[in-house]
Amino acid sequence: MASYENVTNIITNELSATLSNINHNDVENLIDEINKAEKVFFVGVGRVLLSLKSIAKRLAHLGVKTYVVGQTTEPAITDKDLLIVGSGSGETAFPLIIAKKAKQFNASVAHIGTNPNSSMSEYTDSFVRIPTNSKLNNPEEVHSEQPMKSLFEQSLLLLGDAIALMMVKERNIEIESLWEYHANLE
């Protein structure tokens, strides 16, 4: 049986290798797009969607108007808005359909995934590559011992937290002031 210490070392080493190999210029471009947008929408499926919901919540704490596609109070997307698509492969049907639809309304689309040459590239204005193992088996991909796409989903969540912290520092936000945006009906 593997020890807790052993598997946590595996996970943190994989995360460190992955996060350190994300192109910082691509991340800065995504932050610029978030800052320009009136509203930021998120779409993904499965555990990727769970990571995106966490990112949307954290950005809402920073005062960004965020919406998850399909939520009951989702407003219309416009040409002043940004859709952030999370899809490792860039081939998942639902996010592809939503990205295509967003482009019909002239919204900007950013894709966070593993494959810059996926079908999603037809609809995206910007791309942030998380270099985790994919079906392509590129040599620069970080191999993972974790089940399925756990490393991508974890890296996506931490990328979102890195983006939030970069925005906090860029805007000189005092961390304590963020509580005014935190849910208070708990």
**Enzyme catalytic residues:** 153
Question: Residue type at 125?
Answer: D
Tell me how many degrees the CA angle 56-61-66 measures, rounded to the nearest 5. Answer: 35
CA distance 87 to 149: 11
Q: Are 18 and 158 in contact (CB under 8 A)?
A: no
Do you know the residue count of the chain?
Answer: 186
Q: Are 116 and 129 in contact (CB under 8 A)?
A: yes
Beta bridge partners of 111: 85, 127
Handedness of CA 42, 47, 51, 54 (dihedral sign): positive
